[in-house]
């Protein structure tokens, strides 16, 4: 055993990646539907750190992992985050999480008179149960003592395991029916115009009468296919190539304008051919479809955009991202020019703009250092919460001049999952020695206090989400994950609610609740003699 301990303590990277590997093995163990997933990496790390106290990699490595995770989440869900702040569900989600954070904080402070523990230790328990390092830093700065670190080290693992267990119980008891949205696939319909109401009408007027979710990609006239212009006048027996993701809407369009036909447009590729390209060029990525300028003389129109596993109609406001697959109707003579415009490089879709990532992360870290003065409380800094806020903003605007802030979805997922794993492994190994030492001296009391605080945070947030504001279960999972804070909880949430709503809920909640936790401990320290 001594030889293994020596190996772990002398080869820190070996210890890190061994923890990652063993963590994922343990995370895959399924007991009656319950498994820890990536969260198991933290607990394996605690065991490794307890066994080999000097095996922890530098803390900077864990911070880097957390930075990659938060930056990736912000870039992907920026638009949804800002939309959520002004939506009814977004306001309800933030209110639910705030009630949970304040309720858990009040319980932590109440431990001081009820059980005689020190204020710094109780606030440390609150910070650890909410897995917020920024909150711990705020406590130490306000109270100038190390007691908060003791409470934090004990509570942190509970702050991960408790909410995961809470979400599992909620899912088991409520048995919510969560339907993974079917991937949207573009379908086409050829419509022979027979309705006299539309004959002689301009194309721009005709499109205003289309059912929602239906677009016209091409018109066939006199045995030739053409891309319609706004001032094209519709004639009898014109054939419209309608596209959409809803077969019912396509059928409705056919009944409105005429009758369904087959094969007239799609079988004739003399004038227009179908081409699918990858969006990988800076000339188009980050631009709205309506702002893309094709080379002079090029006859081409965008029929649809496929992102991840879903097809999207070519709305003029839709912004292209790296890796989007764009379906075009184009004259064969212009195919080469169109490929050059879009880039059409699958290799390019896997590449990251490290200039953009470096600038975005550096600006976020810089913002996190700026002290914010709160009347009656003092100065505080947001740390990595500021980086997440900036990443959310960059994800919303997507492009600033030559800088493309977004990244390919596949690269984003790999980057942030790798960052999360490294963060959990490093924190677990580093916390192991203090965790077992504190539990040995303080007994199980701190563990029980931590459980109470963590479950209060989960329960209060869940009650307001599910029963007071009646938010969907998958959205509530994201809100609870954001209120409790640790990415491993979100990872488990994604397993029991496999939609995009947990990620969106987490992104909406995490920055504001990090600020709320910091403010709470600052106010508690000021009011209670810190």
Regarding whether 436 and 295 lie in a shared domain, the answer is no
68 vs 513: CA distance, rounded Å: 20
* 393 within some domain: no
- For the chain, what is the domain count? 2
φ/ψ of residue 271, rounded to 5: -95, -40
* 355 within some domain: no
Regarding whether 199 and 118 lie in a shared domain, the answer is no
φ/ψ of residue 266, rounded to 5: -70, -25
* Cα 407-425-148 angle, rounded to 5 deg: 110
394 vs 502: CA distance, rounded Å: 20
Contact present, 93 and 499 (Cβ < 8 Å): no
Instruction: Report the predicted TM-score, pTM, of the whole model to 2 decimal places.
Output: 0.71
Question: Given this model, what pLDDT does residue 402 score?
Answer: 80
Name every residue whose Cβ is closer than 8 Å to that of residue 374 and which is 6 or more positions away in sequence.
380, 519, 522
Residues of the chain with pLDDT under 70: 32-36, 39, 133-134, 137, 140-141, 145-147, 149, 180-183, 348-352, 374-378, 380, 442-443, 529-530
* 399 within some domain: no
Question: Given this model, what pLDDT does residue 327 score?
Answer: 92
Distances in Å between the alpha carbon of 16 and those of 42, 66, 139, 416, 489?
11, 15, 29, 17, 21
Question: Given this model, what pLDDT does residue 106 score?
Answer: 95
Regarding whether 171 and 194 lie in a shared domain, the answer is no
Q: Which tokens go with 448?
A: 């029980």
- Please write the tens of the pLDDT for every residue from 433-487: 877 877 777 657 888 999 999 999 999 999 999 999 999 999 999 999 999 987 7
* 160 within some domain: yes
Question: Given this model, what pLDDT does residue 35 score?
Answer: 65
149 vs 154: CA distance, rounded Å: 9
Name every residue whose Cβ is closer than 8 Å to that of residue 324 and which is 6 or more positions away in sequence.
278, 279, 305, 306, 307
Last residue of a domain, one of 349, 376, 393: 349
Regarding whether 337 and 415 lie in a shared domain, the answer is no
Regarding whether 415 and 439 lie in a shared domain, the answer is yes
Q: For helices 409-442 and 487-496, what crossing angle results, to 10°?
A: 120
Question: Given this model, what pLDDT does residue 16 score?
Answer: 94
φ/ψ of residue 429, rounded to 5: -65, -45
Which residue bears the tokens 């415009």?
A: 341
Regarding whether 208 and 62 lie in a shared domain, the answer is no
Contact present, 419 and 95 (Cβ < 8 Å): no
What does the DSSP assignment read for 486-515? -HHHHHHHHHHS-SSHHHHHHHHHHHHHHH
474 vs 497: CA distance, rounded Å: 5
Domain range enclosing 228: 187-349
Regarding whether 56 and 9 lie in a shared domain, the answer is yes
Question: Given this model, what pLDDT does residue 463 score?
Answer: 96
191 vs 240: CA distance, rounded Å: 5
């Amino acid at each position: 055993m001594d030889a293994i301990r020596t190996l772990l303590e002398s080869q820190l990277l070996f210890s890190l990646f061994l923890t990652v590997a063993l963590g994922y093995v343990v995370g895959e163990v399924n007991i009656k539907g319950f498994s820890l997933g990536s969260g198991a990496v933290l607990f394996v790390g605690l065991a490794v750190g307890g066994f080999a106290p000097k095996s922890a990699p530098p803390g900077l490595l864990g911070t880097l992992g957390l930075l990659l995770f938060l930056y990736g989440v912000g870039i992907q869900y920026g638009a949804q985050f800002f939309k959520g702040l002004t939506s009814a569900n977004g306001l309800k989600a933030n209110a639910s999480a705030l009630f949970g954070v304040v309720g858990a904080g009040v319980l932590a402070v109440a431990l001081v008179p009820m059980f005689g523990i020190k204020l710094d230790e109780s606030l440390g328990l609150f910070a650890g149960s909410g897995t917020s390092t920024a909150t711990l830093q705020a406590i130490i700065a306000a109270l100038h003592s190390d007691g908060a670190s003791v409470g934090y080290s004990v509570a942190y693992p509970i702050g991960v395991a408790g909410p995961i267990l809470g979400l599992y119980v909620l899912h088991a008891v409520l048995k919510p029916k969560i339907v993974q949205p079917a991937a949207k696939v573009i379908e086409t319909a050829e419509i022979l115009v027979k309705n006299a109401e539309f004959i002689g009408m301009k194309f721009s007027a005709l499109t205003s009468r289309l059912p929602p979710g239906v677009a016209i990609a091409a018109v066939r006239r006199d045995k030739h296919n053409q891309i319609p212009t706004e001032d094209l006048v519709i004639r009898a027996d014109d054939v419209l190539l309608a596209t959409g993701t809803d077969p019912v809407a396509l059928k409705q369009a056919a009944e409105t304008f005429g009758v369904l036909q087959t094969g007239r447009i799609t079988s004739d590729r003399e004038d227009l051919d179908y081409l699918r390209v990858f969006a990988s060029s800076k000339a188009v990525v980050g631009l709205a479809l309506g702002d893309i300028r094709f080379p002079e003389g090029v006859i081409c129109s965008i029929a649809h955009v496929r992102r991840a596993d879903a097809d999207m109609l070519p709305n003029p406001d839709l912004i292209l991202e790296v890796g989007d697959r764009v379906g075009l109707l184009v004259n064969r003579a212009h195919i080469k020019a169109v490929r050059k415009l879009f880039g059409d490089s699958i290799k390019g879709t896997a590449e990251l703009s490290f200039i953009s990532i470096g600038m975005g992360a550096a600006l976020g870290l810089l913002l996190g250092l700026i002290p914010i003065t709160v009347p009656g409380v003092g100065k505080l800094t947001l740390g990595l919460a500021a980086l997440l806020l900036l990443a959310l903003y960059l994800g919303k605007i997507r492009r600033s001049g030559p800088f493309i802030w977004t990244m390919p979805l596949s690269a984003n997922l790999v980057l942030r999952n790798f960052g999360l794993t490294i963060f959990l492994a490093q924190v677990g190994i580093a916390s192991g020695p203090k965790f077992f030492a504190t539990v040995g001296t303080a007994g199980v009391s701190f563990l029980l206090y931590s459980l109470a605080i963590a479950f209060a945070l989960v329960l209060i947030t869940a009650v307001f989400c599910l029963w007071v504001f009646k938010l969907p279960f998958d959205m509530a999972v994201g809100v609870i994950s954001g209120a409790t804070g640790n990415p491993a909880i979100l990872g488990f949430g994604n397993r029991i609610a496999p939609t995009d709503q947990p990620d969106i809920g987490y992104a909406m909640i995490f920055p504001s609740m990090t600020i709320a936790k910091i403010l709470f401990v600052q106010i508690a320290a000021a009011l209670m003699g810190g």
